[in-house]
């Protein structure tokens, strides 16, 4: 699902002035590569040469935002246009946000470092209610007033989009416009109307907003006035009679939708570090608790041929060795078996593994399991949701106990070691017997391989049911915090069994999500109060502060029970009544009645229409591709017969300078591994459960250290020419890494381990005081005390470590250190020990490893 927010401004100039430079801040923050903006496949344009400047913002950390493929789709769509430039920005981590505030720097984009306030458009996706305080962080750090009513013609227009916009009211006061539904086409329509307004309009915001309001899927909050009846229920009064309802934008055919063929490869450890391929949008199962299953209707599948073309391009452009097939229920994809067979035949030789992250018990057959495990066994998660069949009928989860038992037994029998299960507590009509059934089901599942002789591990996740808008359960009350906690604690105690691990979501987190999921405009005041009180990253357990939220409830007079535990009258107005997602209110009412009677309805994929109201069967209807959609000659491709190749090991030299110093070792290994794949260099792989390329690095460098000469060894096909490697790899490496030489590696016994390393150290200030260096020189001993994570202390004699140290100036040192196995000391530790520098000063030091010194053994001072 593509999600949009734009922030438009009338006039922004001087894009050559970068006031958002953060190079001096990067050494002071954790995971600095989040902020580099030099990833492979990014697009950098001259912002002075385009008509429209767009900053796509995601209200969470970089590693979360870069995992959202909708953002990459929008980035690709916009940058295909010569007259538009799109750049990215993510909510900075708490430490970076504090540094920005301390230094007075505005939040800026990754690609150019230009502050958001100087763009024409900023796009922010609303995917999760607990990201709302991060939206305020983005605006606040950009010096943009939070409320739309506080902004004037000099400020940007703020536009939101994403699944949370199906109930936009809790954050409506912050936005001038919102997009509801699929954004691929609406995005460019809005951009074109903005360009027309900018070049020939009257300059009035309302003129632009009126033109946007005529587009399907665009909601203008300012065109509605919120009033409240004597029950406290919000009723929206439209300003214009012809604009009273906003219908969701729906893309009828995914094969016609633009899709990035060269997605950006994130740094660090993104949540989803693989090629992500959306095989379908929408779902036909009709689970009554599932908002996504309602608001993304109808199901629209991509053809298998389109998927293979997109995947070919993406793998070649990224070098990933993992592919994730995405949809709300990937196992339901009509052509899944022949598609997987084709994927395995085409890519298993390249060690590309496939995962299906969203599966239903009963859809993952033994045939699919055998295909998936040909490369390696990827993740395996199923969601029974409820323990008893009665409660699964209530929620229309059309899966039986036998389906669950068989699927898990088949997975254990096929070699999977870990199975993840997801359950909810607090579902409508739940009883203690339903909770007992969860325990009974897990106990049955943990039996050795379901009778197949293999005992596996079961990870159980438990969350609290949250009623969502536009579902049959939108009128239900949410279970209170205390009751939710009691249910979860009971399950934890009873599932404290060998081979079972239980994880759960904090009931207070679920409670807050429930407040905003069905809230109204009165919550904007609450949100600002919590943000001003210090709430950030509410979806992160280590950041969540429910005590501050309680204070915000009290200070604003907002009663959370009004939005959560209260059962709603099906005949009363709802805050989201003006948003038409296509599913009729009558369908929701009938499904609510069927739930109370524990009656199920069938899957419309089978051809029986349930009359939900979405399809017109003219331009909009389900699009399904059955097994016959993939021609037999494609499915039955014979694997190429190859002999066992000869291999040789290469010694590759590279530099790690400038922005490259911010790559951690594991991060750098990933960068090189994917560059090797993109360069088409055939590599030897290890054997076993998880085959890995034969690549090994010498002394791993810590984050922040540069080096003029590093080495790694790579085992390749004997036909590879070493002289071609530098150019091929450098074409695929990001700024800061550069291969300088490649040659045949000596045998392992002949490889020399460096005995010492030479460093040049620089700081922008005069911090290296001669008296301290003199004191170190005359001392007979200087002990460095180290404490490991377990609290154990060790002593290291620095006089044995420091072979040479001398000053080039008060800002620069050179030192040579003895590399003692098991007691390697880094230069920054030497600086702290000799000069007693504050931690912040040490972090700002630039350390460059200059050359390998073969055999120095004594300490001298020049």
The pLDDT tens digits for 196-250 are 999 987 889 999 999 999 999 999 999 999 999 999 999 999 999 999 999 999 9
pLDDT of residue 375: 63
pLDDT of residue 687: 79
* DSSP secondary structure of 673-691: HHHHHHTT--B-B--SSS-
pLDDT of residue 415: 79
Q: Which of 389-398, 437-446, 642-651, 707-716 has the lowest mean pLDDT?
A: 642-651
672 or 718: which leads in pLDDT = 672
Q: Which of 187-201, 407-421, 450-464, 588-602 has the lowest mean pLDDT?
A: 450-464
Q: How far apart are CA 327 and CA 357, in angstroms?
A: 8
Q: What pTM, to 2 d.p., does this model score?
A: 0.91
pLDDT of residue 6: 33
For 113-161, how does the pLDDT look when each residue is reduced to its tens digit (9 = 90+)? 999 999 988 889 999 999 999 999 999 999 999 999 998 888 888 899 9
Task: Count the Cβ atoms, other than its own, within 10 Å of residue 755.
Answer: 16
Q: How far apart are CA 851 and CA 112, in angstroms?
A: 34
pLDDT of residue 156: 85
For 412-440, how does the pLDDT look when each residue is reduced to its tens digit (9 = 90+)? 887 788 889 999 999 999 999 999 999 99
Residues 6+ apart with CB under 8 A from 199: none
Q: Which strands sit side by side in the sheet containing 275-278, from one edge to the other?
A: 275-278, 322-326, 353-355
Instruction: State the average pLDDT over residues 279-292.
Output: 94
From residue 355, give the alpha-carbon distance in Å to each of 222, 269, 374: 44, 18, 12
Angle between helix axes 770-778 and 827-835 (nearest 10 degrees) is 100
Q: How far apart are CA 422 and CA 290, in angstroms?
A: 14
For 480-502, how does the pLDDT look when each residue is reduced to its tens digit (9 = 90+)? 999 999 999 999 999 999 999 99
Q: Which of these, 757, 592, 580, lies nearest to 218 by C-alpha position?
A: 580
pLDDT of residue 365: 75
pLDDT of residue 379: 65
Q: What are phi and psi of 117, to 5 degrees?
A: -65, -10
Greatest Cα-to-Cα distance within the chain, rounded to the nearest angstrom: 90
* DSSP secondary structure of 232-254: --EEEEESSTT-S-EEPB--S-G
User: What percent of the chain is predicted at pLDDT more than 70?
Assistant: 93
For 549-564, how does the pLDDT look when each residue is reduced to its tens digit (9 = 90+)? 999 999 999 999 999 9
Confidence grade of residue 852 (pLDDT, cut at 50, 70, 90): low
Whether residue 362 is predicted with pLDDT greater than 60 in this model: the reply is: yes
Instruction: State the average pLDDT over residues 607-622.
Output: 91
- SS3 for 291? helix
Q: Which of 61-65, 638-642, 701-705, 765-769 has the lowest mean pLDDT?
A: 638-642
478 within 8 A of 436, measured Cβ to Cβ: no
Task: Count the Cβ atoms, other than its own, within 10 Å of residue 821.
Answer: 7
Q: Which of these, 639, 692, 690, lies nearest to 415 by C-alpha position?
A: 690
Whether residue 638 is predicted with pLDDT greater than 50 in this model: the reply is: no
Q: Which of these, 36, 85, 42, lies nearest to 62 by C-alpha position?
A: 36
Instruction: State the average pLDDT over residues 684-703.
Output: 85
pLDDT of residue 599: 96
29 within 8 A of 844, measured Cβ to Cβ: no
Q: Which of 187-191, 381-385, 513-517, 545-549 has the lowest mean pLDDT?
A: 381-385
Whether residue 504 is predicted with pLDDT greater than 60 in this model: the reply is: yes
Whether residue 473 is predicted with pLDDT greater than 50 in this model: the reply is: yes
Instruction: State the average pLDDT over residues 445-455.
Output: 58
The two tokens of residue 226 are 């919120």
Q: How far apart are CA 185 and CA 233, in angstroms?
A: 35
Confidence grade of residue 376 (pLDDT, cut at 50, 70, 90): low
Q: What are phi and psi of 185, to 5 degrees?
A: -90, -35
The two tokens of residue 546 are 């429910």
Q: Which of these, 298, 5, 292, lies nearest to 163 by C-alpha position?
A: 292
pLDDT of residue 632: 59
Q: Which helix (H) or strand (E) covers residue 742, if one does?
A: strand 737-744
Query: Over the chain, what is the mean pLDDT?
Result: 90
In 442-555, DSSP assigns E strands to: 457-464, 500-504
Confidence grade of residue 635 (pLDDT, cut at 50, 70, 90): very low
Strands 7-8 and 157-161: antiparallel
User: Which residue's structure tokens are 């995917």?
Assistant: 127
Residues 61, 62, 64, 69, CA torsion sign: positive
For 788-837, how does the pLDDT look when each residue is reduced to its tens digit (9 = 90+)? 878 888 899 999 999 999 999 999 999 999 988 777 899 999 999 999 99
Q: How far apart are the first and last CA of the chain?
A: 64
Cα atoms in the 13 Å half-sphere on the side-chain side of 758: 12
pLDDT of residue 370: 77
Whether residue 59 is predicted with pLDDT greater than 70 in this model: the reply is: yes
54 within 8 A of 83, measured Cβ to Cβ: no
Task: Count the Cβ atoms, other than its own, within 10 Å of residue 763.
Answer: 18
Q: Which of 22-31, 688-697, 799-808 has the lowest mean pLDDT?
A: 688-697
The two tokens of residue 475 are 């009128």
Q: Which of these, 172, 124, 125, lies nearest to 522 by C-alpha position?
A: 172
Confidence grade of residue 18 (pLDDT, cut at 50, 70, 90): very low
Residues 340, 341, 347, 351, CA torsion sign: positive
452 or 366: which leads in pLDDT = 366
Q: How far is CA 198 from the centre of its chain?
A: 34
């Amino acid at each position: 699902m593509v999600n949009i927010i734009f922030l438009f401004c009338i006039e922004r100039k001087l894009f050559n002035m970068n006031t958002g430079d953060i190079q001096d801040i990067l050494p002071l923050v954790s995971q600095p590569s989040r902020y580099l903006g030099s990833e492979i496949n990014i697009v950098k344009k001259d912002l002075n040469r385009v008509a429209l400047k767009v900053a796509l913002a995601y209200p969470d950390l970089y590693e979360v935002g870069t995992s959202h493929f909708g953002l990459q789709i929008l980035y690709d769509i916009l940058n295909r246009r010569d007259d538009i430039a799109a750049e990215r920005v993510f909510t900075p981590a708490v430490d970076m946000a504090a540094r920005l505030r301390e230094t007075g720097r505005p939040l800026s984009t990754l690609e150019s470092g230009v502050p958001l306030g100087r763009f024409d458009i900023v796009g922010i996706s609303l995917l999760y209610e607990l990201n709302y305080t991060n939206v305020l962080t983005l605006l606040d750090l950009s010096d943009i007033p939070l409320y739309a009513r506080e902004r004037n013609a000099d400020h940007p227009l703020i536009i939101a989009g994403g699944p949370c916009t199906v109930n936009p009211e809790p954050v409506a006061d912050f936005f001038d416009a919102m997009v509801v539904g699929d954004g691929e086409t609406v995005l460019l329509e809005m951009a074109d109307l903005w360009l027309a307004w900018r070049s020939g309009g009257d300059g009035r915001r309302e003129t632009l907003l009126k033109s946007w309001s005529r587009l399907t899927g665009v909601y203008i909050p300012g065109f509605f006035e919120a009033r409240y009846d004597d029950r406290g229920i919000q009723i929206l009064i439209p300003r214009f009679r012809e604009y009273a309802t906003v219908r969701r934008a729906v893309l009828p055919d995914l094969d016609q939708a633009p899709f990035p063929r060269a997605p950006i490869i994130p740094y660090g450890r993104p949540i989803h570090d693989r090629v992500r391929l959306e095989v379908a949008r929408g779902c036909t199962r009709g689970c009554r608790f599932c908002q996504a299953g309602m608001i993304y209707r109808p199901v629209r599948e991509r053809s298998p041929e389109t998927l293979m073309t997109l995947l070919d391009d993406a793998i070649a452009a990224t070098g990933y060795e993992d592919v994730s097939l995405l949809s709300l229920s990937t196992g339901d994809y009509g052509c899944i078996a022949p598609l997987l067979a084709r994927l395995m035949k085409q890519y298993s030789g390249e060690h590309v593994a496939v995962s299906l992250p969203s599966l239903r018990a009963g859809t993952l057959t033994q045939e699919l399991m055998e295909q998936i495990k040909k490369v390696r066994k990827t993740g395996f998660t199923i969601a029974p949701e409820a323990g008893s069949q009665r409660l699964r009928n209530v929620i229309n989860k059309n899966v039986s106990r036998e389906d669950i038992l068989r699927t898990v037994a088949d997975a254990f029998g096929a070699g999977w070691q870990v199975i993840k299960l997801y359950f909810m507590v607090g579902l409508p009509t739940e009883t203690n017997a339903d909770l007992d059934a969860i325990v009974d089901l897990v106990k049955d599942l943990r039996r050795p391989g379901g009778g197949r002789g293999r005992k596996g591990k079961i990870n159980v996740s438990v969350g609290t049911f949250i009623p969502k808008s536009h579902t049959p359960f939108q009128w239900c009350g949410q279970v209170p915090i205390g009751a939710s906690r009691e249910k979860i604690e009971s399950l934890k105690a009873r599932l404290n069994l060998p081979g079972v691990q239980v994880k759960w979501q904090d009931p207070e987190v679920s409670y807050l999500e429930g407040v905003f999921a069905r809230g109204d405009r009165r919550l904007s005041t609450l949100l600002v109060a919590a943000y001003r009180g210090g709430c950030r990253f509410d979806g992160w357990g280590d950041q969540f502060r429910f005590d501050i939220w309680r204070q915000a409830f009290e200070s604003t007079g907002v009663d959370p029970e009004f939005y959560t535990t209260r059962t709603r009258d099906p005949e009363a107005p709802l805050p989201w009544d003006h948003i038409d997602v296509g599913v009729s209110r009558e369908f929701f009412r009938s499904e609510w009645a069927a739930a109370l009677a524990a009656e199920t309805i069938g899957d419309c994929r089978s051809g029986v229409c349930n009359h939900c109201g979405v399809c017109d069967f003219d331009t909009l209807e389900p699009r399904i591709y059955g097994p016959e959609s993939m021609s037999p000659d494609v499915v039955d491709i014979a694997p190429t017969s190859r002999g066992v190749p000869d291999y040789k090991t290469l010694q590759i030299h590279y530099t790690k300078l400038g922005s490259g110093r911010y790559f951690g070792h594991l991060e750098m290994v990933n960068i090189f591994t994917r560059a090797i794949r993109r360069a088409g260099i055939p590599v030897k792989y290890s054997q076993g459960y998880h085959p890995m390329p034969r690549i090994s690095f010498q002394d791993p460098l810590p984050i922040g250290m540069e080096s003029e000469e590093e080495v790694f060894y790579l085992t390749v096909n004997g036909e590879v020419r070493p002289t071609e490697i530098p150019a091929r790899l450098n074409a695929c490496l990001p700024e800061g890494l550069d291969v300088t030489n490649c040659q045949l590696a000596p045998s392992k016994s002949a490889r020399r381990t460096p005995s010492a390393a030479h460093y040049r150290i620089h700081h922008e200030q005069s911090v290296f005081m001669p008296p301290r260096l003199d004191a170190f020189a005359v001392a007979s001993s200087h002990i460095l005390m180290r404490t490991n994570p377990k609290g154990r202390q060790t002593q290291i004699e620095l006089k044995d470590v420091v072979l040479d140290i001398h000053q080039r100036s008060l800002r620069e040192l050179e030192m040579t250190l003895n590399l003692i196995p098991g007691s390697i000391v880094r230069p920054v530790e030497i600086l702290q020990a000799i000069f007693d520098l504050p931690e912040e000063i040490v972090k700002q030091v630039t350390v460059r490893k200059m050359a390998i010194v073969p055999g120095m053994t004594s300490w001298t001072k020049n």
